[in-house]
Amino acid sequence: DAKTTQPPSMDCAEGRAANLPCNHSTISGNEYVYWYRQIHSQGPQYIIHGLKNNETNEMASLIITEDRKSSTLILPHATLRDTAVYYCIVFSKAAGNKLTFGGGTRVLVKP
């Protein structure tokens, strides 16, 4: 019962912005969009989340479309250390307070 769709992989040039898309066309009004990443051999790491407004923190920016059916995670200046699998997840406390990970997007940052 995947609630998000992401491309399986993408490449990005070091120093350039990386734009990672995610479709969540069945998202409900009380569901948030969360992004995590997993660097090889490590546990997943929280990046950012949002409900309907765009969000920015020290790691990334999250752009959510007005209809909330899709979003884009932006890594403004990708570095080699940003090479990882990035997961887009729809989350609702009301639905059980649990995060369900899909396949994610494998991002390779190239020099």
Partner 1 sequence: DAGVIQSPRHEVTEMGQEVTLRCKPISGHNSLFWYRQTMMRGLELLIYFNNNVPIDDSGMPEDRFSAKMPNASFSTLKIQPSEPRDSAVYFCASSFGGGELFFGEGSRLTVL
Do residues 83 and 96 lie in contact, with contact meaning Cβ atoms separated by under 8 Å? no
Which residue in the set 5, 10, 32, 106 belongs to the binding site for partner 1 (CB under 8 A)? 32
Closest CA to 60 of 42, 78, 40: 78
Closest CA to 4 of 35, 42, 43: 35
Instruction: Please choose, out of 5-13, 21-29, 68-76, 97-105, the segment that lies near partner 1 by the rule CB under 8 A.
Output: 97-105
Question: Which positions from 48 to 87 touch partner 1 by CB under 8 A, shown as an x/- string?
Answer: -x-------------------------------------x
Which residue in the set 5, 59, 72, 102 belongs to the binding site for partner 1 (CB under 8 A)? 102
Instruction: Please choose, out of 9-17, 19-27, 33-41, 57-65, the segment that lies near partner 1 by the rule CB under 8 A.
Output: 33-41
Burial of 46 (0-12, 13-18, 19+ CB in 10 A): exposed
